[in-house]
Each structure stands twice: as structure tokens, then as C-alpha cells.
Amino acid sequence: MKFLSATVESVLLADSPGTFVTRRVDQVTLDMAGIPGDRHYGLTRLSGAREPMYPRGTTIRNRRQISVVSAEECDQIAQQLGLNAVLPEWLGANLLLRDFPHLTQLPTGSRLLLPGGAGLVCEGENAPCRHPGEIIQALHPAHPNLMKRFVPIAQKRRGIICSIECPGTIMQGDRLRLLMEPIALLQTQLQPQMV
């Protein structure tokens, strides 16, 4: 097994009714269902457009308890859109990591281990959808077509979704370890520093 590392630059929470947009907090405490009070909290959820193999509204395991993005990938999206920044809040992210520029390539099953005891399992890429594009467009009305351009630009840069494997706390500034099996490490083009 190989460990990579990254820094938790921001911790965010989606607790405002009617929106997926998150707000920054100093820390969160996770239980097995996610972040209490967050819109994605729960052991199960109802299937939607991302799960076409089930009738819409079927109760399924919640693999989307936590959304994680990288500062470097957000910067790449912003540059491609011609903006100064794309903030993790606009993407509905719960964690913004730094020092891991290819986060979206992290293989499914990789683990994010935090010093406060929390353990997250990568459930795969968080496929881009139009909703963040709508937020970005509304905040930048002078830039045409941001909503349409967001999805293709954010492909392979939108971050990952995770489920909780072990409860604990996550704080801004935490240095986390990313655990990947050696074969997965060889199959990716990840180049961050080894720990």
C-alpha cells in the first residue's frame, strides 16, 4: 500500500434549505451517515438520474455522503472558463484539498484518512452537472455561456464523492493521508509527493 498526502484547505457544509451551495466552517464531526445537518446526510438516499439502473425514487445506499474537490482542479476549471476563481461552495463541496492536483483520478476504493479519526472511501468521480454551472453563471452575468461550458470543462476535474468508513472529525488545516493499493497507483498518472 502507498500513502499520498494532501491538506484540508477548507471544510464546508450544505445546510441551507433549497440549495446545494455550501458554506465554510472550521470543522465537522462525521458519523456513519455523513455530516449531521448536511443535505447529503444519510445512510440511504433515493435514486435519481445518476442511477438509471433503478426506477427513480428507489431507496439505495448513500455513496454521496461527502463531496471532495481539489484547489488545483478548481483553478483549472476557472482558467478554462476565463474566471479568477471557481469556489468549492459553488460546486457543493464539503472538502477542498490542496497539494493533490489530480484528485478526480483517484481510484474508487481509495481511502482518505484524517488525523481526527475520520476515514472516507472514494466512491468515484463526481460527474459534473448543470447546477454548479447555473450558480457560476448567475454570479458572473457578464461572461456568456458559462452554464453550458461548465460541464465539458469540469469533466475529469470535478472531484470525487465519498462514503464514511470511520467516524471522526475533519478540521481546516488537517493533513490527510490518501491510501491506494499499489496496483491502483501504477494504473494512474498521479504524481503528488509520497509520504
Classify residue 189: in a domain, yes or no. no
What residues make up the domain containing 136?
7-170
d(CA 138, CA 146): 9
d(CA 105, CA 107): 6
Classify residue 54: in a domain, yes or no. yes
* Domains contained in the chain, number: 1
Neighbours of 170 (CB within 10 A): 24
Classify residue 190: in a domain, yes or no. no
Classify residue 194: in a domain, yes or no. no
Classify residue 98: in a domain, yes or no. yes
Classify residue 78: in a domain, yes or no. yes
pLDDT at 188: 54
pLDDT at 194: 44
The residue written with cell numbers 428507489 in the block is 58
For 162, residues 6+ apart whose C-beta sits below 8 A from its C-beta are 65, 66, 67, 68, 112, 120, 121, 122, 123
Classify residue 177: in a domain, yes or no. no
pLDDT at 132: 95
Classify residue 185: in a domain, yes or no. no
pLDDT < 50: residue spans in the chain? 185-186, 192-195
pLDDT at 190: 53
pLDDT digits 0-9 by tens, 62-100: 999 999 999 999 999 999 999 999 999 999 999 999 999
Stretch (H or E) spanning 148:
helix 146-154
What CATH code is carried by the domain that includes residue 93?
2.40.33.20
Which residues sit opposite 179 in a β-bridge?
A: 3, 111
